[in-house]
Structure 1
Amino acid sequence: MILLLVFNFSMGQNSDNYNMWFQYLLSAKVTDKSTLTALTQYRSFDLAYDTRLFLLNAYMDYEVVDNIKPAVGAMFLILESYNADDTKRIRYEKRPFQQVTMENNIGRTSFSQRFRVEERFLSNPDEFEVRLRYLISVKIPFNKKGEKERLYGILKNEIRMNIVKDEPFDSNRLTAGIGIKTGKNSALELAFINQMETRRTSNYGFIGFRNSFDWRKKQK
């Protein structure tokens, strides 16, 4: 029902309606307090072939107090967009970032808030931008208490703002979907993403896969 409402809302706007977003995410517990997260994304203007974006991202967080985790990381992106004459412009971006994540639970529903500051170094033409991001995420289990988790709901909203720019508002990204557990430490996620910018709204079908690992040294 949520997906249908979001879809109907976004179709009524000036939008790109056939974009796809593919993602793989790996998280690994390195110590009792620190976790390494790495992901890769591929986004296209069509079902798969017309490249829109490719990125690699990795960061390490550390739990300073219960459920509060600062982190540092970096990202590399290849951005492809269309010019007015239907030719493509390719830009490269290097993006170090810093963030703090706060997590808590209400019953069995988990909430996560993330504040991120990122420094964007772009080419073609060369530009430097600083952007702030605030993300709130909700994970809703669909199984009854005591049952094995098989399905869960996903709700996210992220607002992104530029610093020292004529237009401070960058975009707002709304996500609604489901997760399907494929193993003890893996899940397939399917979602609809609506990204609203100042002059354009883009819609994505999202397909993601995530794995979690424990790389801590075992005590003998």
Structure 2
Amino acid sequence: MYRIYISITFFLMLFSTKALAQQDNFNMWLQYTMSAKLTEKYSFTALSQYRSYDLVKDSRLFLVSTYLERKLDNDLYPAIGYMFLVLEPYTSDNHKKIRYENRPFQQLTIKNKIGRTTLLHRYRAEERFLTNPDDFVLRLRYLISLKIPLGKEGGNNPLYGILKNEIRMNVVKEEQFDSNRLTAGLGINVGKKSAIELSFINQLSADDTSNYVLAGFRNTFDWSAKTENN
């Protein structure tokens, strides 16, 4: 598994570097994620994300999102959530326009272990309400994700590998295929509650291809003990 991960990461890095060299823009993706265990059955996740066409200044997208998840038997985790987005796409005459989006969503996550590797399947349905112009899109998403500990079992190596692929399909639009997003990266645990992640993302859409470098920071908390003691 370790050799497979390194090979895929190396291939994606080469592909992303070549694609970025052919484009005039450089896509950056900054993300903060906070997850908190509320009780033995419920957890809460919130995230904020900023994407740009260059390193930082030329904004492409900003979003905030949150969802509440419940743990069921058999490693099933249904959730409901909401996302608000500010989109800044370029028009055909190379001018920007601003679009706002309200996006409620529902999802089901299945979490498993293959040895030390965490395997995750996530199925999501989202209702997209957009402005400028007004539009509604029902979109379905399927994500498969691997989190791969690096180093020997039982060691104190904080590094882990990240592999993801997500396909997104429109339900009520003429163009059903929305995009496919492939991710490969590395994470490092910083203490017991935090992690820093750096990934390369290739996103294939119906009309173009985008490449991102993602820099992310994660916090994980356990508030269940505090809740039970109150």
Per the normalisation by structure 1, the TM-score is 0.95
1:126 to 2:113 alignment: no
Equivalent residue for 2:167? 159
Q: Equivalents in 2 of 1:67, 1:100: separation in Å?
A: 10
1:91 to 2:99 alignment: yes
Q: Give ranges in structure 2 of 5+ residues lacking alignment.
A: 1-6
Counterpart of 1:208 (choices 207, 216, 219) is: 216
Q: Give ranges in structure 1 of 5+ residues lacking alignment.
A: none
Equivalent residue for 1:188? 196
Task: Evaluate the alpha carbon distance shift between residue 78 and residue 117 of structure 1 in structure 2; reply closer, same or farther with a 3 A threshold.
Answer: same
Equivalent residue for 2:149? 141
Q: Equivalents in 2 of 1:200, 1:183: separation in Å?
A: 40
Paired residue total: 220
Task: Evaluate the alpha carbon distance shift between residue 16 and residue 144 of structure 1 in structure 2; reply closer, same or farther with a 3 A threshold.
Answer: farther
Equivalent residue for 2:3? none
Equivalent residue for 1:100? 108
Q: Equivalences for 1:59-74 in 2 at 5 Å?
A: 59-74=67-82
Q: Deviations along 1:65-115, whole A, 9 cap, x unmatched? A: 131000000000000011122110110000000000000001101100000
Give the CA RMSD over aligned residues.
1.6
The answer as to whether partners of 2:19 and 2:211 remain within 8 angstroms in 1 is: no
More strand by percentage: 1
1:8 to 2:17 alignment: no
Q: Deviations along 1:136-192, whole A, 9 cap, x unmatched? A: 000000131111241000000000000021110000000000001111111000000
Q: What percentage of aligned pairs have identical amino acids? A: 57
Per the normalisation by structure 2, the TM-score is 0.91
Q: Equivalents in 2 of 1:210, 1:102: separation in Å?
A: 21
Q: Deviations along 1:29-83, whole A, 9 cap, x unmatched? A: 0010111000000000000010000000000010121310000000000000111
The answer as to whether partners of 1:115 and 1:133 remain within 8 angstroms in 2 is: yes
More helix by percentage: 2
Amino acid at match of 2:185: G
The DSSP-based 3-state class of the residue aligned with 2:203 is strand
Cα shift at 1:17: 5.5
